Amino acid sequence: MIPLQEASARRREIEDKLKQEEETLSFIRDSLEKSDQLTKNMVSILSSFESRLMKLENSIIPVHKQTENLQRLQENVEKTLSCLDHVISYYHVASDTEKIIREGPTGRLEEYLGSMAKIQKAVEYFQDNSPDSPELNKVKLLFERGKESLESEFRSLMTRHSKVVFPVLILDLISGEDDLEVQEEVPLEHLPESVLQDVIRISRWLVEYGRNQDFMNVYYQIRSSQLDRSIKGLKEHFRKSSSSSGVPYSPAVPNKRKDTPTKKPVKRPGTIRKAQNLLKQYSQHGLDGKKGGSNLIPLEGRDDMLDVETDAYIHCVSAFVKLAQSEYQLLMDVIPEHHQKKTFDSLIQDALDGLMLEGENIVAAARKAIIRHDFSAVLTVFPILRHLKQTKPEFDQVLQGTAASTKNKLPSLITSMETVGAKALEDFADNIKNDPDKEYNMPKDGTVHELTSNAILFLQQLLDFQETAGAMLASQETSSSATSYSSEFSKRLLSTYICKVLGNLQLNLLSKSKVYEDPALSAIFLHNNYNYILKALEKSELIQLVAVTQKTAERSYREHIEQQIQTYQRSWLKVTDYIAEKNLPVFQPGVKLRDKERQMIKERFKGFNDGLEELCKIQKAWAIPDTEQRDKIRQAQKNIVKETYGAFLHRYGSVPFTKNPEKYIKYRVEQVGDMIDRLFDTSA
C-alpha cells in the first residue's frame, strides 16, 4: 500500500511541474508573437520615415543650391560696391586733402603725414590704372606741394630750434674730463625732444616716400653753423672773461641752477706766466738783478694776452671734440645710416677748418716771432702742441669714417707745430750764443744780464713740456731711432739741448764781461750771472734734467762762482798793498824817523785812504742781488782789509810821522768795516 501511495504522489508532483512548464511555454509564445508584431510595426515606421526623408532631400537640395548662388551674387555685389567706393575715394583725395596741404604741417604733423599717405596712394592708383587721367596730374601736383611743405617745415624746425651751446655748458662738458670723481655726462639738448621727434619723422618720410636727399644738406648746413658759432662763442667768452675778471668760469656742479653759475678757474696750460712767477720768487730770494731782468715787466701784458689766446684755443679744441661727438649722436637719429658719415664730414668742416686755420696762424706767428728773436711768443706753441697730441686719439675716433683729407688735418697741424717748435729751439740756442756784446745793453752795476734771465725763463718753461720739447727735437733727428723714440731718448735729447743752451750762455757771458774796463766789475757780472743760473737750476727740476747728460754741472758752476769771487778780491790789492807789511819801512823803536821814512808812511796812509774811498765809491754802485752771496763777499773782504789795516794802524798809529795825524789817520778799523758793509748797496 505504501509504495502505491508514494508513486501516486510522485506522479501528481510531475504533472504539476509539467503543467507549470506548459504555462511558461505558452507565455513565451505569446511574448514572441507580441515582439514580432512590434518589430513589424517599427520596420513599417522606419520605412515610412526613410521614404519621407528622401522626399525632403529631393526638395531641399535645389533650394540650397539656389541660396548659395544668391549669397555668392550678393557677395560679388558687395565687393563691387566696395571697390567702386575705394576707386571713387581716390577721385575725392585731392579735394579732401587740399586744405590740409595748403595750410602746412606746422602743429599737426601726424594729420599732415596721414593726408600725404592718402595722396601717395592716389598717385600710385592713377599711375597703375589711369595714367592719362587728369586726376593723376592733380594729385601729383598736390603731392609735390606737400613734399615741399615738409621740406620747408624741416628747415623751419631746424632753424628755429637749433641753438648754440652756451660757453658755460661747454666748459662743464670739458671739465668733466679732469674731475677725479666720476660724474654723469653733461647732457646737451640740441633740439627739444618734441621737435626732435618731428624732425626724425619728417626725415624718414622724405627718405622713404619723398625720394629726397636735399634735406640732408639743409641739416648739415644748419648744424654746421651752430657748431661753428658755439666754438667761436667759447673763444669770445674767454676774451671777455679775461678782460673783466681775469679768469673764465664754469658752473662746476651739474645740479646747480643754470642762472646761478659758480665761478670755477679753468686749468691753465702752463704757459709763460708760470715761468715768470718762478722768476719773481727768485727775485724775492735775492736772485734777480735790478736791471738785468727788467725787460720782463713790459712783457706781462702781452703774455697775459698770449695766455688767454692759448687757453681759448686749447679749450676750443676740446670743445670741438665733445660737440662733434654730440652732433654725431644727434645725426644718427635724423640721417639715414648710409649717409651719416658723409653728412657728418660736411657738418664739421667749417668748425674744423676754423680750428686748423687758427692753428696755422699760431704757427705763422711763431715763425715771425722766431725771425724777431721773440722766443717768449713761440712758447705758446708748446701747450697747444701737447694738448693736440693728447687729444689726437679722441680726434681720430670722432673723425672715423670721414674723408682722408679730413683725418689728415690734425696730423698736418701737429707736424707743422713740431717743425716750428724745433726751429725755435734751434734758433734760441744760436741766439744765446750769438747775442751781440752791446755796451749800452750791459748792466752798469754788473747785475744779472737780461739774456741770462730770458734764457732761464725759456728753459724753465720747457720743464712743463719735457715730452713735447723732446718730441720736437726727436722729429728733427735723421737717425732711424727718431721714428720710434722712447721717453728716455727724448729726455736725453732735451738734457743735451739744455746743456747746449747753458754752454752757449756761458760763452756769451764771458764775451760780454770783456766789455767792462774794470776786471773787478767784470768778475762781479760773471759771479752774479753764474750764481743766478745755479740758483735757478737748483730751485727747479732743471738741475736733474741737466744731470742726465752732465753730472758735474752743479760743481762746475760753484767753481766758476768761487773763481770770480777771487778775481774780485784782487781788486782790493791796490788798497791793501799800500799797508801790507812787506812794503812797510823798517825802523827802530824810539829812533827819530828820517824825512824819507815819514814821507813813506804818509804815502802809505794816503794811498790806503784814497784807494779805500775810491773803491767804496765805485763798488757801492755795483750790485750783488743774492743777499747770501753779498754778505759772504762783504764779510770776506772786510776781514782781509780790517786785519791788514788794523795791523798797519797798530804799528804806525802812534808813530810821530806827521804834525797833523788826523789828516792821514782818517778812519778807525770799525769805520773801514762799516764802509765795506755798504758795498753793493745803492740805497746806502
The rounded distance, in Å, linking the Cα atoms of 250 and 274 is 22
Q: State yes or no: pLDDT of 105 exceeds 70.
A: yes
Stretch 379-386: mean pLDDT: 91
Residue 11 in grid coordinates:
506522479
Helices (H), 435-477: 450-463, 466-475
88: left (phi over 0), alpha (psi -120 to 50) or beta: alpha
Of the given ranges (178-182, 254-258, 277-281, 657-661), which has the lowest mean pLDDT?
Answer: 254-258
Q: By C-alpha distance, which of 569, 572, 563, 573 is closest to 526? A: 563
The rounded distance, in Å, linking the Cα atoms of 355 and 232 is 10
Long-range (24+ apart) CB contacts under 8 A made by 536-539 are 536/282, 536/287, 536/456, 536/460, 539/278, 539/281, 539/282
- Spatial neighbors of 617 by CB under 8 A, at least 6 apart, are none
pLDDT tens for 111-161 read 888 888 888 888 888 888 877 778 788 888 888 888 888 899 999 999 999
The rounded distance, in Å, linking the Cα atoms of 388 and 268 is 15
The rounded distance, in Å, linking the Cα atoms of 500 and 229 is 46
Share of the chain above pLDDT 70, in %: 83
pLDDT tens for 193-208 read 999 999 999 999 988 8
The continuous run of DSSP H or E covering 157 comes out as helix 134-161
Q: State yes or no: pLDDT of 420 exceeds 80.
A: yes
Q: By C-alpha distance, which of 320, 380, 312 is closest to 349? A: 320
Q: Are 119 and 93 in contact (CB under 8 A)?
A: yes
* pLDDT of the residue at 36: 87
Q: By C-alpha distance, which of 112, 344, 405 is closest to 216? A: 344
Q: State yes or no: pLDDT of 554 exceeds 60.
A: yes
User: Rounded to two decimals, what is the model's pTM?
Assistant: 0.72
- Spatial neighbors of 673 by CB under 8 A, at least 6 apart, are 638, 641, 642
The continuous run of DSSP H or E covering 531 comes out as helix 519-538
The rounded distance, in Å, linking the Cα atoms of 20 and 290 is 166
The rounded distance, in Å, linking the Cα atoms of 500 and 553 is 12
Of the given ranges (102-116, 147-161, 276-290), which has the lowest mean pLDDT?
Answer: 276-290
* pLDDT of the residue at 280: 44
Q: How far is CA 457 from the centre of its chain?
A: 26
Stretch 375-386: mean pLDDT: 88
pLDDT band at 176 (very low <50, low <70, confident <90, very high): low
pLDDT band at 343 (very low <50, low <70, confident <90, very high): very high
Q: State yes or no: pLDDT of 592 exceeds 80.
A: no
Q: State yes or no: pLDDT of 268 exceeds 80.
A: no
Q: How many other C-beta atoms can be found within 10 angstroms of the C-beta atom of residue 660?
A: 8
Residue found under cell 752757449:
504
* pLDDT of the residue at 2: 57
Q: How many other C-beta atoms can be found within 10 angstroms of the C-beta atom of residue 471?
A: 23
* pLDDT of the residue at 584: 66
Residue 398 in grid coordinates:
670722432
Residue 76 in grid coordinates:
560679388
One-letter amino acid of 282:
Y
Residue found under cell 760743481:
555
The rounded distance, in Å, linking the Cα atoms of 316 and 174 is 10
One-letter amino acid of 73:
L
* pLDDT of the residue at 305: 64
Q: By C-alpha distance, which of 219, 214, 231 is closest to 161? A: 219
Helices (H), 539-626: 542-547, 553-569, 573-579, 595-619
* Average pLDDT of the residues of the chain: 82
Q: By C-alpha distance, which of 38, 50, 61, 133 is closest to 94? A: 133
SS3 355: helix
- 618 burial via Cβ count (<10 Å: 0-12, 13-18, 19+): middle
* pLDDT of the residue at 10: 86
Stretch 213-219: mean pLDDT: 89
SS3 176: coil
pLDDT tens for 627-666 read 999 999 999 999 999 999 998 888 887 788 888 888 888 9
pLDDT band at 590 (very low <50, low <70, confident <90, very high): low
